[in-house]
Structure formats: C-alpha cells, structure tokens
Chains A and B, each alone.
Chain A
Amino acid sequence: AQSVTQLDSHVSVSEGTPVLLRCNYSSSYSPSLFWYVQHPNKGLQLLLKYTSAATLVKGINGFEAEFKKSETSFHLTKPSAHMSDAAEYFCVVSDSNTGTASKLTFGTGTRLQVTL
C-alpha cells in the first residue's frame, strides 16, 4: 500500500525567506511523486512531479523538490516566499503497481502562511 505523511500541518514564513514543506512517502513499488497546490476556491494545480528521471525536480513558480530514496522523502522548497504562495500544499504518491489506473494518494496537506 502507498501513503504519504506531511510532517507539518501549518507552516508560516516571512515574505522573502525560504520555504520548506516536508513529505515522507511509503510505497511498495517505484513511486511517482507529485506536489499539488490548492488556492482557496480554486482547483488543485500541479507544481511538479518525480518519475524516476532526475532526483531534483524543478516545478512552476520557483518551487523544487528532491527525491531521496534512502530517506523516503520528497520535500518541497522555494528559495524566497511570495505572498501569492499562501495556499494549501499536498504531497501525493502514485504507485506504479496500480496497473492501468492513475490512483493518487494525497497527504493531509500543509497550509503555508506568508507574512509581511
């Protein structure tokens, strides 16, 4: 069975400071890992995905994540936070052993607050 654990339910940073959102995953097979962002009253948007190519994945809006198999982690980072980054962030795993289905397993989410 696959699962993800987002280690922080809420993270608060000042504008212009680095962002770190932590995620650990569990998967019996080679996983595909994603980060999605959800702004209030908007749909989920894909930030980036890892599918066993490069371990450092660059996404949209300056976000990136590093896949560390030895630590089963896929933390999301951004060098400098912007007010518009305030949102709910979800770490997501998709097991390659789901056969022909794309079944995403979401973490419980991390709410990012950005203050002036």
Chain B
Amino acid sequence: DAGVTQSPTHLIKTRGQHVTLRCSPISGHKSVSWYQQVLGQGPQFIFQYYEKEERGRGNFPDRFSARQFPNYSSELNVNALLLGDSALYLCASSFFHSSNEKLFFGSGTQLSVL
C-alpha cells in the first residue's frame, strides 16, 4: 500500500513568492495534518483538516493557508515567502482526528527560500 506522498520533494523560491505544497494521504485516511520542521528543531503543528474542515490551527501567520479536497488530498499554501519559511514541510494522515491518533508521515517537501 502506498504511504503518504508529498510533492514536490524539493523546492527553491525567492522572497515574496508564493508556494503550494501537495499531500496525498494513505487510502482510507480522512484526516491530514501539516507540520513545519526547521533545521535542528522538532516539527511544529500548522494545520489539521478532517472531512474538508479545518479542525486545528497552530501559531502561524495568515500567510499560511490550507485546504482539503473531496478525495482527502490536501494543499498547503504560503504567500509572501520569507527567508524564515525555509524548512521541511511534513504532511501526516490518520483515520480520525482525536488526540491519541497515530499519524503516518510523508517524507516531506524541503523548501528553500532565497
């Protein structure tokens, strides 16, 4: 069975540009979460979506947005990129959205902002 897939794997952008990252969950999973992992730190929660509705939001500016589609795939959008947005962006999927849910992570999209 395919795991969580993310695209692209690597991306280079310049300051002020916009970026869209994509995620396909494991078949049957209805929840998708996004995390940002800056080099040398643990991942930080950005969003969680379940059944196309936002279920949770982390402490990120409004430049960050996301959505979930009817097939449960998801996009993370970041506007007006800053150098500090350079990070590994991880997508995770799960069956449900409860606090003790096991999350399955993709390999991530490495974003570099120059």
Which of A's residues lie within 8 Å of B, judged by CB? 32, 36, 41-46, 49, 51, 90, 92, 94-109
Contacts and interface: CB of A to CB of B under 8 A. Distances in A.
Contacts of A103: 45, 48, 56, 58, 99
A19 B90 CA distance: 27
Interface in B58-98: 58, 90, 92, 94, 96-98
Nearest to B107: A43
18 contacts: A32-B100, A41-B107, A43-B3, A43-B105, A43-B108, A44-B92, A46-B104, A49-B100, A97-B99, A101-B55, A101-B56, A102-B100, A102-B103, A103-B56, A106-B42, A108-B40, A108-B41, A108-B42
Contacts of B100: 32, 49, 51, 94, 96, 102
Given A44-B43, A45-B105, A102 B94 contact: yes
Contacts, number: 81
Interface of B: 3-4, 31, 33, 35, 40-45, 48, 50, 55-56, 58, 90, 92, 94, 96-108
A99 B103 CA distance: 17
A58 B14 CA distance: 45
Nearest to B110: A41
Contacts of A101: 48, 55-56, 97, 99
A90 B41 CA distance: 10
B90 to A, nearest CB: 7
